[in-house]
Structure 1
């Protein structure tokens, strides 16, 4: 018997290399454990009006909600995802929430959480918050972007790459650092899949819009996840305000310094990994960002242990998701 799964909140459509990697590894994991993924609802899509998706949901053996960075501060996009718990097309189909951040959400969201058959957070604080909100057991494992090796080519590290942020103020700070530091290049996590960005004037205009009208170094737009990982792995230091940029820096053992994002996601990642908050930089400290800050041996050891945890727990998660699908009557 062929068992199928559908996925809500396909974040690969947001054109971020980290999100593309999460979705690739999520689908690969489900398929490796015998589930055929028949439909994926894009992030911010009104899935309740998507008749083709709803038809596949009704037929599915398992519904998987990719929580990622959506379930925080009571956002409408998060509420829309949780509504699947009570939707008629769900019926009695097993329902799983995976890779979820949970922060500052309304109490009433807990009632919908209780309808999920499996809940997996991507950080320990989210796991505890969802346990309290739902009264259910909640597991945690590191973000799925960390659930497989980077598979990058060994290379000599050189220079600084400067990423971006979801928030304008940190983006401007990062732009100022890129303009000041020697051998710096702008390499955002976000990629726009259009030929227009292959032209230097278009990339310069984009950099100016994102980072401010500074004397900026060139803006590089890696073509895909693999190219982005190779670029990070070749850097001596990565400055960023993006959660997944920090994840992929850990994955490639690239030293990084980070600015906070729009939720506590980076702080939680650093705490769970055992690194602590020493690599988190406040906005008013950004004028003194260095061109180099290598990992200490204890940091490298902590990262390697964290990656092993990510991969072991991810494999257990996929096995349990497959078992959940098999349990459907």
Structure 2
């Protein structure tokens, strides 16, 4: 099999969406004949990692998971751009996948160093096109997953958070003002990441330390007084207090809801793959607007949780929305498979030169 190194492995983050993205990257890569021999954690400085630098020099291809990183010339994004230039100098293909692209100037200087770029939405493709850089659209890789859920009786609404502190606080203000007989509950997307072993064993103690800290926060959030939503610490504790640790259980919980109001991109994609009606608030990039436009669900964007909760009960999926969403999910899976098959061809061609 072709040997690859994965960069920006977001499964180290405490997030069901990130866990599922990396799961799909590994599964789809294997199906295409690519073995991910090593993975570099999100925000890990590859330039100071001698082991990783040696592995890069031996790899057939480097795969960068752009996810929510490649925007606003962020330091983590610039580090991944420099990786592409490093790989180009070595003659090793470096491919950016599953990426947003927005508000970049310095980063755009490195865009041409990627062998190929696959962005998640048309808005990101258009941003690169304006900079004279070609890219292809392949929707977020969570959309290539097919959960084993179904037959559950739906009841009640779920309200989910945001990466934006002000929006997360708005969520708790909204909940505090709801009638007591309204069947609405908060569900966090947080989860404790798996410990590292095998080819990632050198990060075992790092992951153990991080997981122990997360576990303390989770236990602390469920003991004593209810955390205060007015502080950053309180918001963090609330996310742990109302979390579900198993991704399978998390997806079943969504599948059993009549609807979800969320400010998180991956909660929206997970609603799509479980067939759950939802309303979405804007996030820190155009990712949610881009996703809704792709799926033919632009009418499901709302300005506030109050608006989302008021509109959702009267807005189950229409027949047109349901048919369009089914087509979008089929397209997403097919596009993801084509992308990895293309990466395999690219690596093979480079190997044969």
1:145 and 1:51, CA in 2 relative to 1: closer, same or farther beyond 3 A?
same
1:234 and 1:284, CA in 2 relative to 1: closer, same or farther beyond 3 A?
closer
Contact 2:279–2:312 (Cα < 8 Å) also in 1: no
Give the equivalent residue in structure 1 for 2:279. 257
Contact 2:170–2:305 (Cα < 8 Å) also in 1: no
Give the equivalent residue in structure 2 for 1:24. 23
Contact 1:174–1:240 (Cα < 8 Å) also in 2: no
| Alpha-carbon distance, 1:101 to partner | 0.5
Give the equivalent residue in structure 1 for 2:142. 145
The one-character-per-residue Cα deviations of 1:133-180 (angstroms, maximum 9, x if unpaired) are 2433x1101100101212224200111111111111111222233332
> Which is further off, 257-266 or 222-231?
222-231
Give the equivalent residue in structure 1 for 2:252. 230
Q: In structure 1, the residue corresponding to 2:223 is in which secondary structure?
A: helix
1:124 and 1:202, CA in 2 relative to 1: closer, same or farther beyond 3 A?
farther
Match of 1:117 among 94, 115, 118: 115
Match of 1:268 among 261, 285, 290: 290
- Scaled by the length of structure 1, the TM-score of the pair is 0.90
CA distance in 2, matches of 1:172, 1:122: 28
Contact 1:57–1:89 (Cα < 8 Å) also in 2: no
Q: Which structure's residues are more often helix, by fraction?
A: 2
| Alpha-carbon distance, 1:209 to partner | 4.8
CA distance in 2, matches of 1:18, 1:146: 10
Give the equivalent residue in structure 1 for 2:161. 164
Contact 1:172–1:211 (Cα < 8 Å) also in 2: no
> Which is further off, 92-101 or 295-304?
295-304
Give the equivalent residue in structure 1 for 2:206. none
1:172 and 1:24, CA in 2 relative to 1: closer, same or farther beyond 3 A?
same
CA distance in 2, matches of 1:29, 1:77: 25
| Alpha-carbon distance, 1:291 to partner | 6.2
1:7 and 1:203, CA in 2 relative to 1: closer, same or farther beyond 3 A?
farther
Moved >3 Å (runs of 4+): 192-196, 206-213, 216-219, 283-291
Q: In structure 1, the residue corresponding to 2:123 is in which secondary structure?
A: helix
1:112 and 1:202, CA in 2 relative to 1: closer, same or farther beyond 3 A?
farther
| Alpha-carbon distance, 1:283 to partner | 3.5
Give the equivalent residue in structure 1 for 2:183. 183
Q: In structure 2, the residue corresponding to 1:98 is in which secondary structure?
A: strand
Q: In structure 2, the residue corresponding to 1:66 is in which secondary structure?
A: strand
Residue 247 in structure 1 maps to residue 244 in structure 2: no
Contact 1:97–1:116 (Cα < 8 Å) also in 2: yes
CA distance in 1, matches of 2:79, 2:307: 37
Task: State how many pairs are aligned.
Answer: 323
CA distance in 2, matches of 1:318, 1:21: 17
